[in-house]
């Protein structure tokens, strides 16, 4: 699962490509926020179609010269998550415990994932 480490939330943004907002840095990812409570509760986890809806650069948003445009088809007006930095978090497929990497042995249950 990806976790947003550096982000901001733009509140009540209208989906209109003719309108631009000042945004100093170029986003790594942009998403429409669907369930902010769950997003906060799971440590800012980006779960597509559950906590957020990932938007496509070029189709749904653009950033150029410090100006951000949002023109998603998901909502007419929404809270928009701007992500600048991500971290990957892995979970054991057997017990659900957090794991340091996708292919390491689980410290909780000892499960060893099979390499692909």
Report, as an integer, the average pLDDT of 59-77. 93
90 touches 99 (CB < 8 A) = yes
pLDDT at 61: 97
45 touches 2 (CB < 8 A) = yes
Q: Is 2 exposed, middle or buried (CB count within 10 Å of its CB: 0-12, 13-18, 19+)?
A: middle
Mean pLDDT taken over the chain: 90
pTM (2 d.p.): 0.82
pLDDT band with cut points at 50, 70 and 90 for residue 114: low
For 1-40, the pLDDT digits (tens) are 899 999 999 999 999 999 999 999 999 999 999 999 999 9
């Amino acid at each position: 699962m990806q976790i947003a480490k550096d982000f901001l939330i733009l509140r009540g943004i209208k989906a209109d490509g003719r309108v631009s907002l000042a945004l100093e840095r170029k986003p790594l990812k942009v998403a429409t926020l669907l369930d902010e409570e769950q997003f906060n509760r799971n440590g800012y986890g980006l779960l597509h179609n559950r906590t957020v809806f990932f938007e496509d650069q070029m189709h749904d948003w653009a950033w150029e010269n410090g100006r951000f445009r949002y023109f998603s088809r998901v909502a007419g007006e929404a809270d928009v998550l701007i992500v600048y930095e991500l971290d990957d978090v892995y979970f054991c497929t057997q017990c659900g415990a957090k794991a340091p990497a996708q292919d390491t042995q689980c410290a909780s249950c000892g499960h060893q994932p099979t390499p692909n």
